[in-house]
Amino acid sequence: MSLELDADNVHWPAVARASYRRLDRTEVPPSHPVGLMADWHDAVVGARGCFREQDFSSANLPRIEPWLQILEEGAPGVFRYRFVGGGVDELLEFSDSGQMLGYQVPDHVLERRRKEIADSRRDGKPVFSTSVLPFRGKEFISVIRGIFPCGEENEALVFMPVAPYRL
């Protein structure tokens, strides 16, 4: 595994801890997978009033699918990765598919992600952020992520694309 992850956070580099920042929608480049998802999400919500799982088609959005993660909530606040795209697997050099949200990350990262999900659900709109991922033997990689909550009958699902800042 390539991430510098440790249960007690001892090896989580300070630069990674300090790098997290929420983004305004205008700060997400339109050509970035998260920007593409945001534009598509806005169009779907504008037409239907909410975003549902069945609205998403990787055939129509091929640049998003490799960077997409779909989380499914079991118990309140407990999420499992239902789908993880190949680009994310390649970036992390391991697969989160089937794992619980927070698997192999420090508690502060898990709490941050849960807060993003809760905020996006409460406000009924996406949340965007950027951070640096620490890797052993590599430079740090800046990523942009988006949290897109589903509505109606798919409220247990959250779509979370995450991709390097520059592809």
Q: 83 with 69: CB under 8 angstroms?
A: yes
156 occurs within a structural domain: yes
Residue 38 confidence class, pLDDT cut points 50, 70, 90: very high
Please tell me the pTM assigned to this model: 0.85
98 occurs within a structural domain: yes
CA end-to-end distance (rounded Å), the chain: 22
9 occurs within a structural domain: no
pLDDT of residue 58: 83
pLDDT of residue 60: 81
36 occurs within a structural domain: yes
- Residue 73 is classified by DSSP as E
37 occurs within a structural domain: yes
Per the model's pLDDT, the better-predicted residue between 116 and 2 turns out to be 116
Among residues 43, 47, 99, 49, which one has the least CA distance to residue 71? 99
Q: 37 with 65: CB under 8 angstroms?
A: no
2 occurs within a structural domain: no
Buried b (16+ CB within 10 A) or exposed e, 30-54: eebbbbbbbebbeebbeeeeebbee
At a CB cut-off of 8 Å and minimum separation 6, what does 101 contact? 71, 78, 79, 80, 81, 110, 113, 114
Q: Give the CATH number of the domain where residue 38 resides.
A: 3.30.450.20
Buried b (16+ CB within 10 A) or exposed e, 55-89: bbeeeeeebbbbbbbbbbbeeeeebbbebbbebbe
**C-alpha angle 12/33/139, rounded to 5°?**
30
Classify residue 18 by burial, with Cβ atoms within 10 Å: 0-12, 13-18, 19+: exposed
Query: φ and ψ at 143, to 5 degrees?
Result: -125, 160
Domain range enclosing 55: 14-164
The overall average pLDDT reported for the chain is 83
81 occurs within a structural domain: yes
Percent of the chain with pLDDT over 70: 83
Number of domains in the chain: 1
Q: Decide if pLDDT at 5 tops 60.
A: no
1 occurs within a structural domain: no
